[in-house]
Amino acid sequence: MQELKKVVNRVETKIRFSEVDSMRVVWHGNYVKYLEDGREAFGEEYSLAYYDAFGNGYMTPIVKLDVDYKRMIKYGETIIIETEYVYTKAAKIVFKYRILNAETKKVAVTASSTQIFLNENNELQLTNPDFYIKWQEKLGLI
């Protein structure tokens, strides 16, 4: 069985004062925003942005999000957000993430997200839309 090609985006960001709590560490809820930053950077690099789906008549809401916190990140530190596409035959978009301290390269967070396809009538799509199949083909995933 042939191993699938890895499709990964990496983006860096510096932790701002507004993202930390009174203990000067990133407030746990802000990691969800970092995951979205990762998805947006991935979409820009690989032409799978939110408006690409929307322009084809679909919305892609998140239906599952798992976040595992490993280490604290503090104000002023720089992080690397790695977003990796996870191929599945099912009609959904799956990503896994690692957030690392850019200086130490230690993993602070691992996570995954699952998005589904809804058509213009908010109906769940049970098969992959044509634009998404073409995107997978373009990347050599199928």
Whether 16 is covered by a domain: the verdict is yes
pLDDT of 1 above 90: no
Please give the pLDDT value at position 50.
86
Whether 39 is covered by a domain: the verdict is yes
* Burial (CB count <10 Å: 0-12, 13-18, 19+), residue 52: middle
pLDDT of 32 above 80: yes
Tokens of 66: 């798992």
Number of separate domains in the chain: 1
Q: How are beta strands 92-101 and 78-86 bridged, if at all?
A: antiparallel
Q: Which domain holds residue 45?
A: 8-129
Q: For position 40, which CATH number holds?
A: 3.10.129.10
Whether 136 is covered by a domain: the verdict is no
- Contact yes or no for 37/81 (Cβ under 8 A): yes
Whether 42 is covered by a domain: the verdict is yes
pLDDT in tens, 103-116: 999 999 999 999 99
